[in-house]
Chains A and B, each alone.
Chain A
Amino acid sequence: MYGLVNQAIEAMVRKNFSSQIWDEIHQKAAIQDPHFLSMAAYPDDVTHRLVKAASEVLNLSSGEIMRAFGSFWVEYVDEHGYAELMEMSGESLPEFLQNLDELHARVGLSFPKLRPPSFECRTGDESIAENTDQNTSTLCLDYRSEREGLAPMVIGLVEGLGKRFDTSVEVTQTQIQSADSDCDTFLIQYRPQD
């Protein structure tokens, strides 16, 4: 993972809790010098240790940590130099989700060590959505990654994009990556706020 991800974890803990909690987390994760360079590549294990330590210190599950991080990530990259890129990627939730894979592809070209996931966004089957009204639309997002356990982060990411575009979202994982399926699939029900 690039250091930007670990920096974002630190920023999330400091913002929502405190610097002392962050110190406790990185010490628990056995990371003595938690100064990350955003464009430097770090072993995935560093990020995993931070998430695990945060889970223990904050008494939250790893899934809850990852989901919160996914939402925070949208806000973080927007505030830390990539706002224009975010704007270029779309002006609405569905547009952004459509461009999400291209965005990750381009980032992967520029930062080959990133090994970004891939996304495929398609129109959702509204018949399988529950309690939808005429203003609610659906999308299906297929998520493929060589890293395991990051599905909650995708949910948080979509929720974060919903906040960005003033769109209420409800994300439901309808498929889990396994031997029978090569991706996690999420049903996204969204409705732009007036």
Chain B
Amino acid sequence: MALFSLSPEQFLEAFPFHLAIDKNLKIIQSGHAIQRLIPNLIQKPLAEYCDISRPKLLLDFDTISLNLSKLFILNFKGIELKMRGQFILHESQEVLFFLGTPWINDIQELKKTEIKLKDFAIHDSIADFLVLLQAEKMQSKELTDYHEQLKQMIAERERLIQVSEQRADALEASLIELQFTQEKLRKTNTEVEQLEARLRGLRMSQVQLIQTEKMSALGKMVAGVAHEINNPIGFIQGNSTYLEGYVQQLLGLIHLYQQEYPLPTNVVSEMIEDMDLDFLMDDMPRLLNSIQVGSKRISNIVQSLRTFSRMDEAQLKSVDLHEGLDSTLSILEYRTTKSSVESVFDDNLDDKSEIEIIKEYENLPLVECFAGQMNQVFMNILSNAIDAIVEKRRVLSADPSYRPEKDWIKISTTQVQLEFIHRYNLSLSSCPEQCHRELKICSDHSLQTSVQNYLKSQEKSHIMIRIEDSGMGIPLDQQSRIFDPFYTTKPIGQGTGLGLAISYQIVTDQHGGYLKCISKPGYGTAFIIMIPTHLS
């Protein structure tokens, strides 16, 4: 049982939203907040301002009095306000108190109602509820915003994934295209290389054709010249024999006249003195001899030229290679004799300026070959040997203290059998008699092996020709290129770079042979030619 109660003023303060209703449902009292919101509602019917939203009851004093344990929701008209609370019947049984508070679901609704926080009793938790509501609303909005951001980020991520997949596809396509292009490029490069090789081959063929034509033209010219020269030379040689006989007879007659008539007449004596008969008789045989020697020499040269050109012989024939070598040497004799060799030492040529030709010929069988082309090979190699010696002299002559030594070219021929190759050892022997240098090249194992393999595969007898010189040798960085077409170390105009390339082709392609160069800088060079005895 309550012992204490609130004063009316305290009651008004504790319940600022209360209503007091009489049995006629007139509002006889209200809290200050309600009065502020709805002025002049005292003594007005309750029904004029509100109705019962819940429970579903008639707005009737007695009915309400029977439902005091229920939660009432009053709906106020005009100000859009809901109040929630309970009815309490005053002990007098004549007044119903409605003790309640505004029911707000959204803090925005407060603005419409003009309710302030201060309108609520301090003990009323509706304000706290509103704070919580607002906080929850803000948080919900925040989460919605974050959710939206997240959705956008996911969409963006998916878009980026899609873009990156598209790019990956494009990259893969580009890669495939690149590979295809690379393959095309590789094929193109291969085709280019093949074309370049064909071009080189065509150039070589062109050069060889030109060279062949030149040689053919030369051969024809030589043949023509030889033919033209042969006749007069024949006359000279033939008649000189008779002439010699006639001269001997005439000289004998003069001697007889001198014996029989030791005292000539004055006219005869004067004539004898004028013509210097003694000298004439002494000199005439010598003149005749020199004419015979000269004509013989011309005949030999013509023969050498004809041998070299081989125009009067079939393409493939068994020939004596020594003849080809000798004919070539004969043609080059003008470059090796002391009267012709370029000497830079002094104006007076001496024996040391000669290039000695050393021949070491073995007995060789006739070799089936293209004789004219083999002579061309001999010409190229021998010419190069002479050039090497001349160049060496030119370089060394820069040293005033240098004294020349005798230079040489050695040509050796031999027949090579398979078993011979096992003891094969290349060396440049020192020049016989006057050469002090020893030129030695260690055994070339790679040469031995490759030649051995070659010979084994052929199983035929071969001829080996070795041409060595006492030149300066070929620098190491050039040795691998000497057989390359158009490669030359000579000044422009002096060398075409084709001699050895053509020689290599003649020996290896046309004769199935082997052409090797062995050189040691500072010592000399050797070319080794090996061809089979029989081609067919």
Instruction: Give residues in A with beta carbon < 8 Å to B.
Output: 35, 37-39, 80-82, 84-85, 87-90, 99, 102, 106-107, 109-111
Check B423 for interface membership: any CB of A closer than 8 A.
Answer: no
Q: Are A88 and B138 in contact (CB under 8 A)?
A: no
Check B436 for interface membership: any CB of A closer than 8 A.
Answer: no
Which chain B residues border A89 with CB–CB below 8 Å? 117
Q: Are A39 and B138 in contact (CB under 8 A)?
A: yes
Q: Are B117 and A38 in contact (CB under 8 A)?
A: no
Which chain B residues border A84 with CB–CB below 8 Å? 107-108, 110-111, 130, 134
Given A88-B118, A99-B118, are A106 and B127 also a contact pair (CB < 8 Å)? yes
Quick one: CB contact mask for B235-266 with A, threshold 8 Å, 1 for yes? Answer: 00000000000000000000000000000000
* Alpha-carbon gap, A87 to B130, bound state (A): 13
Which chain A residues border B143 with CB–CB below 8 Å? 37
Which chain A residues border B122 with CB–CB below 8 Å? 102
Given A99-B118, A106-B127, A110-B131, are A88 and B110 also a contact pair (CB < 8 Å)? yes
14 further A-B pairs in the complex, CB-CB below 8 A; given A88-B127, A106-B127: A37-B142, A38-B138, A38-B139, A39-B135, A39-B136, A81-B134, A82-B134, A84-B130, A84-B134, A85-B131, A88-B110, A106-B128, A110-B131, A110-B132
Q: Which of A38, A82, A99, A107 contacts B142 (CB 8 A)?
A: A38
Which chain A residues border B128 with CB–CB below 8 Å? 106, 109-110
Q: Are A85 and B118 in contact (CB under 8 A)?
A: no
* Alpha-carbon gap, A81 to B111, bound state (A): 14
Which chain A residues border B137 with CB–CB below 8 Å? 81
**What are 10 A-B pairs at a CB distance below 8 A?**
A37-B142, A37-B143, A39-B136, A82-B138, A84-B107, A84-B111, A85-B131, A87-B116, A88-B117, A99-B118
Classify chain B: how many residues form its interface, as a range.
Answer: 20 to 34
Q: Whole-angstrom distance from the CB of A69 to the nearest CB of chain B?
A: 20
Instruction: Give residues in B with beta carbon < 8 Å to A.
Output: 107-108, 110-111, 116-118, 122, 127-128, 130-132, 134-139, 141-143, 146
Please, which residue of chain B has its CB at the minimum distance from the CB of A37? B142
**Interface residues of chain A: helix, strand, loop or mixed (majority):** helix
Which chain A residues border B111 with CB–CB below 8 Å? 84
Please, which residue of chain B has its CB at the minimum distance from the CB of A3? B142
Please, which residue of chain B has its CB at the minimum distance from the CB of A88? B117
Which chain B residues border A90 with CB–CB below 8 Å? 118
Given A87-B116, A106-B128, A107-B131, are A81 and B138 also a contact pair (CB < 8 Å)? yes
* Alpha-carbon gap, A150 to B143, bound state (A): 30
Q: Are A85 and B138 in contact (CB under 8 A)?
A: no
Q: Are A85 and B132 in contact (CB under 8 A)?
A: no
Please, which residue of chain A has its CB at the minimum distance from the CB of B119? A88
* Alpha-carbon gap, A28 to B445, bound state (A): 77
Q: Which of B110, B132, B134, B139 contacts A37 (CB 8 A)?
A: B139
* Alpha-carbon gap, A53 to B146, bound state (A): 26
Q: Please give me the 6 A-B residue pairs with the lowest Cβ-Cβ distance, nearest first.
A: A88-B117, A81-B138, A39-B139, A84-B107, A110-B132, A110-B131
* Alpha-carbon gap, A99 to B120, bound state (A): 13
Q: Whole-angstrom distance from the CB of A109 to the nearest CB of chain B?
A: 5
Please, which residue of chain B has its CB at the minimum distance from the CB of A84? B107
* Alpha-carbon gap, A102 to B107, bound state (A): 18
* Alpha-carbon gap, A89 to B132, bound state (A): 16
Q: Whole-angstrom distance from the CB of A105 to the nearest CB of chain B?
A: 9
The interface centre, meaning the residue of B111, B122, B127, B146 with most chain A CB atoms within 10 A of its CB, is: B127
Which chain B residues border A85 with CB–CB below 8 Å? 107, 117, 130-131, 134
Q: Are B131 and A106 in contact (CB under 8 A)?
A: yes
Please, which residue of chain B has its CB at the minimum distance from the CB of A109? B128
Given A88-B116, A110-B128, are A80 and B138 also a contact pair (CB < 8 Å)? yes
Q: Whole-angstrom distance from the CB of A78 to the nearest CB of chain B?
A: 12
Q: Whole-angstrom distance from the CB of B145 to the nearest CB of chain A?
A: 11
Q: Whole-angstrom distance from the CB of A1 to the nearest CB of chain B?
A: 15
The interface centre, meaning the residue of B107, B108, B110, B122 with most chain A CB atoms within 10 A of its CB, is: B107
Please, which residue of chain B has its CB at the minimum distance from the CB of A107? B131
Which chain A residues border B117 with CB–CB below 8 Å? 85, 88-89, 99
Please, which residue of chain A has its CB at the minimum distance from the CB of B142? A38
Which chain B residues border A38 with CB–CB below 8 Å? 135, 138-139, 142
* Alpha-carbon gap, A106 to B146, bound state (A): 28
Which chain A residues border B138 with CB–CB below 8 Å? 38-39, 80-82
Please, which residue of chain B has its CB at the minimum distance from the CB of A111? B135
Which chain B residues border A109 with CB–CB below 8 Å? 128
Which chain A residues border B127 with CB–CB below 8 Å? 88, 106
Please, which residue of chain A has its CB at the minimum distance from the CB of B108? A84
* Alpha-carbon gap, A88 to B118, bound state (A): 7
Please, which residue of chain B has its CB at the minimum distance from the CB of A91? B116
* Alpha-carbon gap, A131 to B128, bound state (A): 41
Which chain B residues border A111 with CB–CB below 8 Å? 135
* Alpha-carbon gap, A188 to B137, bound state (A): 35
* Alpha-carbon gap, A87 to B135, bound state (A): 16
Please, which residue of chain B has its CB at the minimum distance from the CB of A106? B128
Q: Whole-angstrom distance from the CB of A57 to the nearest CB of chain B?
A: 26
Please, which residue of chain B has its CB at the minimum distance from the CB of A82? B134
Q: Whole-angstrom distance from the CB of B84 to the nearest CB of chain A?
A: 19
Q: Whole-angstrom distance from the CB of B442 to the nearest CB of chain A?
A: 77
* Alpha-carbon gap, A84 to B427, bound state (A): 117
Q: Whole-angstrom distance from the CB of B143 to the nearest CB of chain A?
A: 8
Which chain B residues border A35 with CB–CB below 8 Å? 146
Q: Whole-angstrom distance from the CB of A87 to the nearest CB of chain B?
A: 7
Please, which residue of chain B has its CB at the minimum distance from the CB of A39? B139
Please, which residue of chain A has its CB at the minimum distance from the CB of B149? A35
Q: Whole-angstrom distance from the CB of A80 to the nearest CB of chain B?
A: 7
Q: Whole-angstrom distance from the CB of A151 to the nearest CB of chain B?
A: 26
Q: Whole-angstrom distance from the CB of A175 to the nearest CB of chain B?
A: 28
Which chain A residues border B108 with CB–CB below 8 Å? 84
* Alpha-carbon gap, A90 to B146, bound state (A): 33
Please, which residue of chain A has its CB at the minimum distance from the CB of B111? A84
Q: Are A110 and B110 in contact (CB under 8 A)?
A: no
Which chain B residues border A99 with CB–CB below 8 Å? 117-118
* Alpha-carbon gap, A55 to B143, bound state (A): 31
The interface centre, meaning the residue of A80, A85, A109, A111 with most chain B CB atoms within 10 A of its CB, is: A85
* Alpha-carbon gap, A80 to B135, bound state (A): 10
* Alpha-carbon gap, A47 to B134, bound state (A): 24
Please, which residue of chain B has its CB at the minimum distance from the CB of A90? B118
Please, which residue of chain A has its CB at the minimum distance from the CB of B137? A81
Which chain A residues border B142 with CB–CB below 8 Å? 37-39
Please, which residue of chain A has its CB at the minimum distance from the CB of B132? A110
Which chain B residues border A87 with CB–CB below 8 Å? 116
